[in-house]
Structure 1
Amino acid sequence: MTDQLQLHLLGDANSAVAPAAVASVFDAARLTQARCLAGLTKTALATKVGVTPAAVSQWEARATPPRPDHVQHLAEILDVPLGFFAAGRAHAQLDASTAHFRSLRSTRAAQRAKAIAFVEQVWELAHALDQHVRLPKVDLPGFDTSSLENTEFSTDPATAARVLRTRWRLGRERIPHLVRTMETRGIIVTTVPFAGEETARIDAFSTSHLPRPLVVLTPDRGDDVYRHRFTAAHELGHLLLHRNSVPGDPQQEREANQFAAELLTPAAVIKDLLPARVDLQKLDELSRTWGVSIKSLIYRSRELGLISDASARRAYQRLNQLHTVGLFAPQKVNGFPGETASLLGKAFDLAQDHNLLTLTSLARQLQWKIPRLRLLLGQVDERPTLRLV
């Protein structure tokens, strides 16, 4: 790296950086990441830059680097600092085929690409914070904080859930704060609205192909804390059961559901508590006690042979009717702090309290703009925007 480039990159992530200096050490993977985050195809980006699609393909394939004026234009179009495109920073590249998407069939390829680019940045943020604050060590069978291990673990979903409960010393009762429990075991969980209005359509997903397992929970689905908890347990099941499997198999989704059900409501305990006949009032009490939905308990009752398929269908229909008139309404996640992701935000706060980091210094280290950093730290401004007509 030239002295000139070193001097330029010492500045704030929003300060001026010489395009020629960045072009000399252009990192093609950064262009792919930024393009995917912007939701642009190579053709669409080429049109905005004023070059051919083949030129963008050559840039991303490392065949030829872009000219300095093109680098400047790319930064403006993709809304990143010029220094973002410079090599020399930790970068975790992930393939979309290594992530388990809860709604794979309804998630378009461009949406998956945006989600994967987001996960790469979440890992970069965690990696940067880990240089200043000691994050919790990963405590999950098959993982440590520096590599992936090929250790033996039960492939039976219910058994895997029971083994994990034992390993994490969760006992046989309700897990009071599932997301916080996952974070204290070194799993990165995020609920950032990374794709704007499209986030809800992507839904939750996870990946085990990073040194730290990572789970993305969709904030747009946060109007039901019990669904949120089940989804977190579902993704945890994928991390344990399907590390080396190709995502997309419906059987894997069923196994992740079975894992989640056993983790949240152990059969050995819940079977004796469930009513022999569908009793919505009793199920509502159990729902609040165990932190799972009534619908999930109906399914569990049928799964454990306590009620018939026909009884379960009638119970679902009755429950839907009650939901329609505002009864048995779900509770929002934001009323349950232990179910809200906070690891990265608290790590930054700790580093800031010890004068190790500021937003500006961390943005400079990552070469992100500060609004982007705030978003990934969970510092989302939820105030409504005033628009003058």
Structure 2
Amino acid sequence: MFYGEKLSSLRELNGLSRKDLATRLNVTEQAVWQYENDATLPKIEVMNQLRTIFNVETKYFFTRNYLASEVSEERVAYRTTDRESRKKTKLEVTYLNYIDYYIRYLEQNLIIPEAKINQLIQACQLILNNSNQSRSALIQQVAAYARAELGLQHNRDLMYVLEKSGIYILEKNLGMQIDAYSTITKAQRPYIVLGTFKKSAVRRNFDIAHELGHFLLHRTVDMSILTPAELKAIEKEAHLFASAFLLPEANFKVDFQKLRRKSNPDFYIDLKRKYLVSLTALEMRAYGLGLMSYQENRYFWGQLTKKDYKVNEPLDDEIPPIKPGKIRSLFKFVLDHQVIQLADLLGNFNILPEFLSQLFNLDEHFFDQYLKPQQDYFSQAVIDLDSFRQKPLSE
């Protein structure tokens, strides 16, 4: 029996409309609708095209759907302008459900350390429940507490520290308008998805901290029912959190006071190198802390425009963006230690290696070594592989 819902899910996973897929298959949009609703069985030549387009075996469409709805739209935190597209949100939910299913499959025979991030979320909720302080003061208190609890000493280690805390960070083509988004599944597994569009390392750092802010500040907020004004307020809070988290007040004040000219962006370059945040983020933090006058603030932004730093800042081409490593390390661990055989993984789900490479944004040759006899090689994972341990056979 052909399961049209699996075709529908694959189409959404790849960001295709029915019209898009119809064009690639050289059939009508109505024909695609019929395939997905089990009204018509695709011809053999169409099945072969589907196999090539989606990197799955033909048998994939003749086995029951295995995806579970672990991610809900109301828990996906987008930027304000992105939320306007409900269709886009639905596509990302499909993507996250695929991602989450395969991660759970890879981890099923592993002992995974308790996610520190979930404990941190609960602790921060207690801080936020303190009504004796302003919301702004509470957010900055949460930021300072989170940085201390996570043990973040230098912002260059932000990606590593958050992945170690239990957050799964992925890269995906989100287009030019979307920087990142985040969600927590029904099973309390947190995800941050970063866009692959070219972006400086410092701006990516801010994106990651911004999404962490959503986890800690807005865990219980239903994003799908907020008005544009409410969404804007939510984004502003996450922005404030990221600023306070990446630029701890006490240390930043000391460093900022050493600047010879507070209104000239060029004098911020050493601070950018130290904190790995943009010149604009540094200035906005300083202005927010009352370290600059209104006139200095205006002159800074004027100079920023004059020097064309709004598009490309100094050091942007010198500091390489850090790439996520946890999921890559997870694949390496289970395959290197033969917890799971790649052939079994592919055979169980009737998928091709390219399916996984594209889904998890891995190098196109990542699985090559597991498709032929093992050879001795040396590798160093981004995430400490000791954090993964195979369950005893008795379990």
Which range, TM-score by smaller chain? 0.7 to 0.9
Contact 1:287–1:297 at 8 Å: present in 2 too? Answer: yes
Q: What SS is found at the alignment partner of 1:201?
A: coil
Q: 1:306 aligns with which of 271, 288, 291?
A: 291
Query: Hey, what's the Cα distance between the residues in 2 that align with 1:96 and 1:221?
Result: 27
Query: Hey, what's the Cα distance between the residues in 1 that align with 2:113 and 2:349?
Result: 21
Query: Hey, what's the Cα distance between the residues in 2 that align with 1:365 and 1:92?
Result: 20
1:341 positional shift: 0.3
Q: 2:254 aligns with which of 266, 272, 286?
A: 272
TM value normalised by structure 2? 0.73
Question: Which residue in the other structure is 2:135 paired with?
Answer: none
Tell me which amino acid in the other structure corresponds to 1:38.
Answer: N
Q: What SS is found at the alignment partner of 2:254?
A: coil
Q: What SS is found at the alignment partner of 1:307?
A: coil
1:318 positional shift: 1.4
Report the CA distance shift for 1:163/1:54 in structure 2 as closer, same or farther (over 3 A).
same
Tell me which amino acid in the other structure corresponds to 2:316.
Answer: P
Q: 1:160 aligns with which of 119, 142, 167?
A: 142
Report the CA distance shift for 1:351/1:168 in structure 2 as closer, same or farther (over 3 A).
same
Question: Which residue in the other structure is 2:359 paired with?
Answer: 376
Query: Hey, what's the Cα distance between the residues in 2 that align with 1:209 and 1:184?
Result: 18
Query: Hey, what's the Cα distance between the residues in 2 that align with 1:243 and 1:56?
Result: 39
Q: Deviations over 1:18-38 (max 9, x none)?
A: xx3xx3xx473x344222123
Report the CA distance shift for 1:241/1:221 in structure 2 as closer, same or farther (over 3 A).
farther
Q: 2:196 aligns with which of 219, 231, 234?
A: 219
Q: What SS is found at the alignment partner of 2:210?
A: helix
Runs of 5+ in structure 1 lacking a partner?
1-19, 60-64, 383-389
Q: What SS is found at the alignment partner of 1:232?
A: helix
Q: Deviations over 1:340-384 (max 9, x none)?
A: 1011111111122112334443333444332121123432349xx
Matched, 1:295 2:273: no
Q: What SS is found at the alignment partner of 2:255?
A: coil
TM value normalised by structure 1? 0.74
Q: What does 1:6-85 correspond to in 2, within 5 Å?
A: 20=1, 23=2, 26=3, 28=5, 30-42=6-18, 52=30, 59=37, 65-69=38-42, 73=46, 76-77=49-50, 79=54, 80-85=56-61
Q: Deviations over 1:188-226 (max 9, x none)?
A: 001133xxxx5333321111234310001112143x111
Q: What does 1:186-205 correspond to in 2, within 5 Å?
A: 186-193=166-173, 199-205=175-181
Matched, 1:318 2:303: yes
Query: Hey, what's the Cα distance between the residues in 2 that align with 1:159 and 1:124?
Result: 35
Report the CA distance shift for 1:354/1:42 in structure 2 as closer, same or farther (over 3 A).
same
Q: What SS is found at the alignment partner of 1:215?
A: strand
1:186 positional shift: 1.1
Give percent identity, aligned residues only: 21
Q: 1:228 aligns with which of 204, 208, 225?
A: 204
Runs of 5+ in structure 2 lacking a partner?
129-137, 366-395
Report the CA distance shift for 1:320/1:136 in structure 2 as closer, same or farther (over 3 A).
farther
Q: CA RMSD in A?
A: 3.5
Aligned length: 339
